[in-house]
Amino acid sequence: MTAKKTARDAQSRAWQRMLSGRRLDLLDPSPLDIEIADIAHGLARVARWNGQTTGAHIFSVAQHTLLVETVMRHEMPGVDQRMRLAALLHDAPEYVIGDMISPFKAVLDGHYKAVEKRLLGAIHIRFGLPPELPEEITQAIKAADRGAAYLEATELAGFSESEARRLFGKDPGLADSVRRDYLTPWTAARAEKQFLERFDAVFA
């Protein structure tokens, strides 16, 4: 193989090899190449807030998704399992593409969002959800996401309460014990384990 061909192949590669052995194409993702173990492993090692958080460990996307699902259950008692599963998976594409802060997503215009949307659609199909969720479910997840972001911003990322209210809305009012646990950054191993346990509970 020539150096020129090797360089061309490297430039055109749009897939990632997963620890499960799957090869996931970012531009045309197949639900058959998606494994929950890969998602949990990846999200537990991706930092929220670009790593600009307090604590001995990063605050991972896996822990964030668990917080979002907890906020949703707090705000919508009796919410069904499919909505809980959708909340848990709402940031699942980040196991492949990372967690990009909102200001940088805006710089990239719609390109990041297009890749993210294709990946999330494939993930939904893999786990029995519609590729695009009904609008009311999407809005409920966004509301829970904003509540989680408020807590993370004020407890971990150095935001004042007034700044967080302006950007993310109100404090969702979780119980102090729940708040302390979910806002203490976990090890990657714990985040991965708890993500998988919650997935098993809502996917059953």
For the stretch 10-50, pLDDT in tens is 446 788 899 999 999 988 999 999 999 999 999 999 999 99
Full DSSP string of 168-191: H-------HHHHHHHTSPPPHHHH
Whether the CB-CB separation of 144 and 75 falls below 8 Å is answered with yes
Q: What is the pLDDT of residues 140-197, one digit of tens each?
A: 999 999 999 999 999 999 999 999 999 999 999 999 999 999 999 999 999 999 999 9
Number of domains composing the chain = 1
The answer to whether position 2 is within a domain reads no
pTM for the model: 0.89
The answer to whether position 23 is within a domain reads no
The answer to whether position 75 is within a domain reads yes
Whether the CB-CB separation of 52 and 62 falls below 8 Å is answered with no
Residue whose token pair is 């966004």: 142
Q: What is the pLDDT of residues 108-123, one digit of tens each?
A: 666 778 889 999 999 9
Domain that holds residue 177: 33-203
Q: What is the pLDDT of residues 73-117, one digit of tens each?
A: 999 999 999 999 999 999 999 999 987 766 666 666 667 788 899
The answer to whether position 80 is within a domain reads yes
The answer to whether position 15 is within a domain reads no
The answer to whether position 92 is within a domain reads yes
First to last CA, the chain: 48
